[in-house]
Structure 1
């Protein structure tokens, strides 16, 4: 997921990422969605007041 997210951050489309990694486009789309969700969660957790 990290590689897919970093490639998407460079501006590549999911179709281009799929071609460069030899993966089906739906797999790339799913992994990108999950990676974005995990990344967003990690960012929001770090902003909370420590418990």
Structure 2
């Protein structure tokens, strides 16, 4: 969220969803809170990825 690009955030979030979501109970989030220095475009990329791949 802080250092990557939106494409890197998308790829990582998609990988997490594919690996962790089967069976239910997975919650995609940025730890306990979103880091204060996160790039806005990366937060948006994570939200879009969750909406696109996170419905199961």
TM-score, normalization by structure 2: 0.36
Work out which structure has the larger RCO, using CA pairs closer than 8 Å and 6 or more positions apart in sequence. 2
Give the greater-gyration-radius structure (CA). Answer: 1
TM-score, normalization by structure 1: 0.38
Structure number with the higher helix fraction is 1
